[in-house]
Structure 1
Amino acid sequence: MKAVRYYGKEDIRIEDIEEPKTLPGTVRIAPAFNGICGSDLHLYHDGPIPPAPTEDEAHPLSGETLPVVLGHEFSGVVEEVGDDVDGISVGDSVVVEPLMVDGTCPACQKGAYNLCEKMGFIGISGRGGGLSDHIVVESRWVHPVGDMPLDQAAMIEPLAVAVHGVNQTGAVEGQVAVVGGAGPIGLLVAAVLKAKGLTTIVSEVSEKRRAKAQTSGVADVVVDPTQEDLAAVVSEQTAGAMADVAFDAAGATPVVSQLLGVLGATGRLQVIAIHTVPVQIDLTGQLMMQDRVLGASVGYAHVHAEAIELVRSGQVDLAPFITSKILAQDIVRDGFERLTKSQDEVKILVSMN
Structure 2
Amino acid sequence: MRAVRTVDGGFQVVEVDDPTGDGVVVEVASAGICGSDLHMAGFGLSNTFGHEVAGRLVDGTEVAIRPTLACGTCDRCAAGAEQQCRAMALYGLAMDGGMADRILVDPACLVPLADGVPVGDACLVEPIAVSVHAVNVAGVQPGQRVLVVGGGTIGLTAVAAALHVGAEVDLSARHAHQVAAGERLGAGTAASGEYDVVIEAAGTESALVAAIDHARPGGTVSIPAVYWDGIAIPNVMSMFLKEVSLRPSSMYGCSGRHGPDVREVDEAAALLAAVPELSEAVITHRFALDDAPEAFRVAADRSAGAIKVVLEP
Q: Is this a same-fold pair by TM over 0.5?
A: yes
Residues 195-344 of structure 1: pairs in structure 2 closer than 5 A: 195-214=164-183, 216-219=184-187, 221-223=188-190, 230=191, 234-235=192-193, 242-275=194-227, 276-280=229-233, 282-283=235-236, 285-301=237-253, 302-314=263-275, 317-333=278-294, 335-343=295-303, 344=305
Q: Given the two structures, how large is their TM-score scaled by the length of structure 1?
A: 0.79
Specify which of 97, 101, 107 is matched with residue 139 of structure 1: 107
The number of residue pairs the alignment matches comes to 301
Which residue is 1:226 aligned to? Answer: none
Aligned-partner Cα distance in 2 for 1:40–1:116: 22
Residues 59-78 of structure 1: pairs in structure 2 closer than 5 A: 66=46, 68-78=47-57
Cα 1:339–1:135 shift into 2, 3 Å: closer
SS of alignment partner, residue 114 of structure 2: coil
Percent identity at matched positions?
Answer: 27
Does the aligned pair in 1 maintain the 2:114–2:269 contact within 8 Å? no
Does the aligned pair in 2 maintain the 1:34–1:71 contact within 8 Å? yes
Greater length-normalized contact order (CA 8 Å, ≥ 6 residues apart): 2
Q: Which amino acid in structure 1 is aligned with residue 152 of structure 2?
A: G
Shift of 1:105: 4.7
SS of alignment partner, residue 185 of structure 2: coil
**Over aligned residues, Cα RMSD in angstroms?**
2.0
Unaligned runs of 5+ in 1: 49-53, 55-65, 80-89, 224-229, 236-241
Shift of 1:47: 2.2
Residues 1:130 and 2:70 are matched in the alignment: no
Q: Given the two structures, how large is their TM-score scaled by the length of structure 2?
A: 0.89
Does the aligned pair in 2 maintain the 1:108–1:115 contact within 8 Å? yes
Which residue is 1:238 aligned to? Answer: none
After superposing on structure 2, the runs of 4+ consecutive aligned residues of structure 1 that deviate more than 6 Å are none
Shift of 1:40: 0.9
Q: Which amino acid in structure 2 is aligned with residue 243 of structure 1?
A: Y
